[in-house]
Amino acid sequence: MPISETKPISETDLIRFLASVHPYDSLDPEVLQALAPKFQLLSIEPCEKIYDLGQALAGLYLVHHGEVEVTDENGMAISILGPRNSFGERGLTRGGRAATSAQATAATVLLLLPRADFDALMQAEAKVARFFDRRRPEGPKQNGLTTCRAEDIMAATPVTCSAGLTCQGAAQLMRQHHISSVCITSDESLEGILTTRDLTEKLLAEGLPFSTPVSQIMTPDPLSLPPSAIGSDVLHAMMERHIGHIPVVQNGKLMGIITQTDLTRFQAVSSAELVSAIARAESAAEMAKVTAEIPRLLVQLVAGGNRHEVVTRLITDIADTVTRRLLTLAEAKLGPAPVPYLWLACGSQGRQEQTGVSDQDNCLILADEATVEHDAYFAALADFVCDGLNACGYVYCPGDMMASNPRWRQPLQVWRDYFGSWITKPVPEAQMLASVMFDLRPIGGDYALFDGLEAQGLESASDNSIFVAHMTSNALKHTPPLGLLRGFATIRSGEHRNTLDMKHNGVVPVTDLGRIYALQARIPAVNTRARLEAGAAAGAISPSGARDLMDAYDLIAQTRLEHQADLIRRGEAPDNYLAPSALSDFERSHLRDAFVVVKTMQSALGHGKSMLS
């Protein structure tokens, strides 16, 4: 599609902008002044393609303002880029052709550094070359067997038996667990493996009695691999030896087992597959079978090297699809809605930050012509959707902040009154509710019902300094888990004793900071990282402060996701409670540094200090 040049900005403003973007902020002033005129300003319309996969790249792109979605060869979104984000460098450093596709998702202005000028800059400035060479690729590492490890694929709770068990007993175990092999162990050490093929070719074919001990027909001392083996090692071993089961062993202890089915499932699962299956489902029960694959998807995405904001965006997309499909099924059951409505999500779904642990937070906005008589319909619709979400693993909100609660199922004017009351009378409950409701995002229905409400709420809130002060105070209640002498302040008692709450003391403090910056600068974005980027662009936070905070947030959020993936690999339910002892000294040091950054930003905000210096 055509890309048009837009009205130029002054050279002074352009230099000031570039000086706020890494790595250009490391250039000498005279170098930056000479570089600035080489950038071309391009205006991109919403949904307009910037380039396609395999296309020759014109140069390096830098987002001045707006939003760009980068997709892989399968059309899957792998990055959502905002102001001060660069893209295209991966293709420029690898032959000059795009390794991804990119299009604007909003009105966007880009700065284009032509390819020849980019190449010259890379050759002349070592700092720039190091930056772009070491950056994580625009897309994730390939989500295939070359980037995952055996521990990402294996079944972590293999079925075992002793060598003295009869073959009939072993066969009954396989039938009971719907598996094709059983591992023979002694004190957790692997002695052998018995497969259905062994039973067929060695027991039945030879006419041996069913009471034959497993030890007589098992494969003793079978090939095994360590958890650190990569997926392609597993595949190659299976193909070379014509086997379909490989135990995973570490220090002599059986850790898990990988079958050909496990390899197939790992490669086949993707967010697109799940979204497609959900869109075709005819009941919540069908959808629940699909959403049960989300933990496996999370492990695959994390193992593939995807950034946390990509993982959570893809997982949230699945929840959005479930919600919209339930709305469609509800209308099919109840009939067309009597008046227009809009279903919205708040909380982590609203911010597009869902992980492997998510409850539901939602509400309904009804058109103002809705009457008391209409509530029976919308109550039934809300119950249908909320019950369906719960069946799909998005459990009921403990605080009952759901559309099934009449309080959160109201006409538009009532919602305007809600926001007005919370802003003018910021009592503790109002502060809590406002924090949740400022994360609202439309999911399904008449989106026009939200347009005015969102803009009005942001304007009223940002103009009310008392409300912002109360919201700021409320936002500082969640603090990073920092103790004395460079230690962590872990949970002291209860089920999660000696662990860090990576949600409430990890990501939530940054989420709260992002929300305050958004209120101060009237930023409509609800995603935390998008708020931080937009806050820096709007001057609500200094460029250096924004970079530090985003780096800290990235580390905290990524650590949280990796912890959840580790639990899933072990066959446990994902949670947010991380034991510091599970981290290396290096990891603990960097995580603490990230918490220090968050605490510093909280302290500055709490004392009313300007972060613009």
Q: What is the pLDDT of residue 613?
A: 34
- H or E stretch at 312: helix 308-334
Cα torsion through 249, 252, 254, 258, rounded to 10: 20
The average pLDDT across 204-226 equals: 94
For the segment 282-304, the average pLDDT, to the nearest whole number, is 91
**Other CB atoms closer than 10 Å to residue 180's CB: what's the count?**
15
CA separation for the pair 248, 234 (Å, rounded): 10
Residue 613, in any domain of the structure: no
Residue 38 shares a structural domain with residue 77: yes
Is there a contact between 43 and 5 (Cβ–Cβ < 8 Å)?
yes
Q: Classify residue 144: in a domain, yes or no.
A: no
Compute the distance between CA of residue 302 and CA of residue 390 in angstroms, rounded to an integer.
25
pLDDT of amino acid 155: 87
Provide the CATH number for the domain around residue 11.
2.60.120.10
**The last residue of a domain, from among 428, 459, 490:** 459
Question: What is the band of 133 on the pLDDT scale with cuts at 50, 70, 90?
Answer: low
Answer with the one of 101, 134, 167 that is the final residue of a domain. Answer: 134
Q: Is residue 145 part of a domain?
A: no
Domain boundary among 399, 433, 459: 459
Which string of b and e fits 73-97 if b means at least 16 CB within 10 Å? eeebbbbbbbbbbbbbbbbbbeeee
pTM above 0.85, yes or no: no
Question: Do 320 and 195 belong to one domain?
Answer: no
- From residue 110, give the alpha-carbon distance in Å to each of 90, 120, 154, 401, 573: 17, 20, 44, 40, 43
Kind of pairing between the strands at 59-65 and 86-87:
antiparallel
State residue 228's pLDDT score.
82
Given a cut of 90, is residue 460 above it in pLDDT? no
Lowest mean pLDDT among 151-165, 235-249, 386-400: 235-249
Q: How confident is the model at residue 141 (pLDDT cuts 50, 70, 90)?
A: very low
List the single range of 132-136, 274-278, 504-508 with lowest mean pLDDT. Answer: 132-136
Same domain for 350 and 438, yes or no, is yes
CA nearest to 511, candidates 450, 430, 436: 436
> Where are the strands (E) in 227-285, listed by range?
245-250, 253-259
The confidence score (pLDDT) of residue 610 equals 38
**Residues 443 and 300 grouped into a single domain:** yes
Question: Higher pLDDT residue, 241 or 351?
Answer: 351
* 77 shares its domain with 165: no
194: alpha, beta or left? (left if phi > 0; alpha if psi -120 to 50): beta
In a domain, 528, yes or no: yes
Share of the chain above pLDDT 90, in %: 49
For residue 58, which amino acid is it?
A
Span 339-356, average pLDDT: 94
Judge whether 336 lies within some domain. yes
Does residue 167 share a domain with residue 224? Answer: yes
Give the pLDDT of residue 611. Answer: 39
In this prediction, residue 507 carries a pLDDT of 96
Residue type, 216: Q
Task: Give the residue, 388 or 523, on which the prediction is more confident.
Answer: 388
Answer yes or no: do 489 and 576 share one domain. Answer: yes
Tell me: do 185 and 297 sit in the same domain: no
The confidence band for 147, taking pLDDT boundaries of 50, 70 and 90, is low
Same domain assignment for residues 389 and 288: yes
Residue with the larger pLDDT of the pair 274 and 141: 274
Mean pLDDT of 520-533: 88
Q: Please, are residues 475 and 512 in contact by the beta-carbon 8 Å criterion?
A: yes
> Taking residues 593-608, what's their average pLDDT?
86
Give the integer Cα–Cα distance in Å for 551 and 557.
10
Residue burial 185-198, b: 16+ Cβ < 10 Å; e: rest: beeeebbbbbbbeb
Mean pLDDT of 497-502: 94
- What are the pLDDT digits (tens) for 59-103? 999 988 888 888 766 666 556 677 878 888 877 766 678 878 899
pLDDT at 543 over 50: yes
Per-residue pLDDT at 612: 36
Look at residue 134 and tell me whether its pLDDT is greater than 50.
no
**Residue 416 banded pLDDT, cuts 50, 70, 90:** very high
Nearest-Å Rg of the Cα atoms of the chain is 27
Domain co-membership, 258 together with 281: no
Inside any domain, residue 471: no
For the cut 80, the answer to whether the pLDDT of residue 207 exceeds it is yes
Task: Give the SS3 label for residue 360.
Answer: coil
Is 579 within a domain?
yes
| Mean pLDDT, range 535-562, rounded to an integer | 90
Q: Check residue 60 and give its pLDDT.
A: 93
Tell me which of 163-177, 199-213, 240-254, 482-496 is least confident: 482-496
Pick 557 or 242 by higher pLDDT: 557
Examine the domain organization and report whether 260 and 288 are in the same domain: no
Continuous segment of H or E residues that includes residue 385? helix 375-391
Q: How many domains does the chain have?
A: 4
Q: Tell me the β-bridge partners of 42.
A: 5, 110
In a domain, 524, yes or no: yes
On whether both 278 and 362 belong to a single domain, the answer is: yes
For residue 293, give the CATH number of its domain.
3.30.460.10
Non-local CB neighbours of 74 within 8 Å, separated by 6+ positions: 270, 272
The larger pLDDT score, comparing residue 255 to residue 93, is at 255
User: For the domain that residue 208 is a member of, what is the CATH number?
Assistant: 3.10.580.10
Confidence of residue 135 (pLDDT cuts 50, 70, 90): very low
Q: Which domain holds residue 506?
A: 476-606
pLDDT at 153 over 50: yes
